Amino acid sequence: MSAIAVIGGGFSGAACAIHLSRLAPRPLEILLIDPREQVGAGLAHSTPHPDHRLNAADSIHLLYLDAPDHFSTWLRTSGALERDPDAVAANGRTYPRRADFGRYVHAELTRYQASNPSGTTIRHITQRAARIASGVRGFSVALANGATVDADACVLAVGQGGPHVPDWLRAYVRHPECVADPWDLPALQRIDPDHHVLILGTGLTTADVVSTLVSQGHRGPIEAVSRRGMRPISHSPFPPTMPRLQGLMQEVPEFVARHGRPDSVAGIVRALRADIRRLDPARTSWHALFDDVRDAAHVLWPHLSTSEQLRFLRHLKPWYDVHRFRIPPQNERIVQHAVETGQLAFHGAHVVSVRHGPRGFTVAFRDRGATLVREKFYTALINCTGFDSRLQSLHDPLMRGLAADGLVRSSACGLGVDVDPDSRAIGAGGSRVTGLYVVGPLTGGSLGEASSVPVITRQILQLIPGLLADLSIAR
């Protein structure tokens, strides 16, 4: 029986185990390696806070592309919606708690562990994978407890790792009033309700942190700063013009059908702007046309030269992200109320330095467009600067070992790891590594869009035929 080691037990790893057990033509042994006691949620969907919601509607969170209503049905039948009456927003769409999606994926994995069409065994190994070595007959995975497991193939589903901590903040991460990990709820709960808080970052994570502080009765002022000071955009007031599944599965995406594959970032932007100029604002909004670009990213991004990809990352990525990753209406209402009451303010500025004193932190800023540096005092700092997915910045010994051994290399644009169109890892020498696959956000630098649930599901379904073929070759 062929064995497959799936490293990582978040959504990507659990979905990979589920679909392999559904589609394999013969029994497999799947070793799902993750130190958490409960798999399926991962970092993104394990937060227990009731105000931490999916940033897109339930209908978009597709574990099964052939059953698009599966999660929505689970929400109703499991009682999750009854326990969360605020899940249905004013626009009529449902934005569940992230923890409920994690529970759903865990329940589905448990169901497939009990029984699946191929008779596959799914075994959760509650350890951290420390090193992967390639051998003649597959891979050897060293675990943190000193044990070793062997597998014919490996799937890396490790996500983006932990939050990025800027170098200038590292000296203060152990200070009780500096929260380096925004998902550390006990640390957030320890912040004095009257403290003057500076949040480093202005994206979706900041919206979660503000919601957390407000819910625990924070009274002090809150400021959020990033280089551009941009907040996540609202969702469209109009219903979708096309089901997300249809947009994902089209052989020729709508944007490509209209414009082909522009070979420059400027060409893509010009085409999008032309589409927006032609829309009827009484019937639709820019959101649908932007979504056409998003759903074509897997076709557009690999077609761009490395220099064009780098141009996008330098100049356009922050604007793309705030339009792409939209804020749940429930969190938007909390944030907007804090802004309107004067408790919360957003700024565009560059942090020059931080000094710690006996009562807090003195932060030096250079405001966007300014030359002079100003200073301001805060009694608490919260890091919401996001993830740094450059391979050389990852602190995970597993990924560092894979890179040192030449089994993975950085993508051409520097984000994540290099993979082929079927998600097979490309090693240091430029050759595909038979039997080694990568799924999820670390493939975004190669594939263009690899962080949302339906895109990861599609990616898994596309890699499975190649993975099964590798196993046949190996046997």
How do the domains of the chain map onto residue ranges?
3-162+389-474, 167-233+326-383, 244-324
- Asked, colleague to colleague, whether 3-162+389-474 and 167-233+326-383 share their fold, the answer is yes
163, 187 contact by CB (below 8 A): no
pLDDT category, 242, cuts 50, 70, 90? low
Q: What is d(CA 193, CA 98) in angstroms, rounded to the nearest whole number?
A: 25
Overall average pLDDT of the 86-103 stretch: 94
For residue 404, give every residue at least 6 positions away whose Cβ sits within 8 Å of its Cβ, in sequence order, or none. none
Specify the residue for token string 């640390």: 187
* Closest by Cα among 358, 54, 466, 383 to 187: 383
pLDDT digits (tens, 9 = 90+) for 335-351: 999 999 999 999 999 99
Q: What is d(CA 198, CA 345) in angstroms, rounded to the nearest whole number?
A: 10
* Residue 194: strand, helix, or coil: coil
* 225 DSSP β-pair partners: 200, 347
Instruction: From the options 3.40.50.1110, 3.50.50.60, 1.10.645.10, 3.40.50.300, give the CATH code of 3-162+389-474.
Output: 3.50.50.60
* Closest by Cα among 68, 94, 70 to 82: 94
Structure confidence at residue 438 (pLDDT): 97
DSSP state of 412: T
Overall average pLDDT of the 228-249 stretch: 82
Contacts made by residues 144-148, CB under 8 angstroms, sequence distance 24+: 144/35
Residue 475, pLDDT > 60, answer: no
Token pair belonging to 3: 């064995």
Residue 474, pLDDT > 60, answer: no
As to burial, measured by CB atoms within 10 angstroms (0-12 exposed, 13-18 middle, 19+ buried), residue 167 is: exposed
For residue 74, give every residue at least 6 positions away whose Cβ sits within 8 Å of its Cβ, in sequence order, or none. 80, 104, 107
DSSP state of 230: P
* Residue 178: strand, helix, or coil: strand
Task: Sort strands 148-151 and 138-143 into parallel, antiparallel or unpaired.
Answer: antiparallel
Q: What is d(CA 456, CA 441) in angstroms, rounded to the nearest whole number?
A: 8
More confident residue, 412 or 43: 412
Token pair belonging to 14: 């659990």
Q: Give the rounded distance of the alpha carbon of 281 from its chain centre.
A: 31
Residue 269, pLDDT > 60, answer: yes
Structure confidence at residue 116 (pLDDT): 97
Overall average pLDDT of the 302-330 stretch: 95
Task: Sort strands 129-135 and 197-200 into parallel, antiparallel or unpaired.
Answer: unpaired
pLDDT category, 42, cuts 50, 70, 90? confident
Overall average pLDDT of the 217-222 stretch: 97
| Superfamily per CATH, domain 167-233+326-383 | FAD/NAD(P)-binding domain (3.50.50.60)
* Closest by Cα among 255, 257, 251, 281 to 269: 255
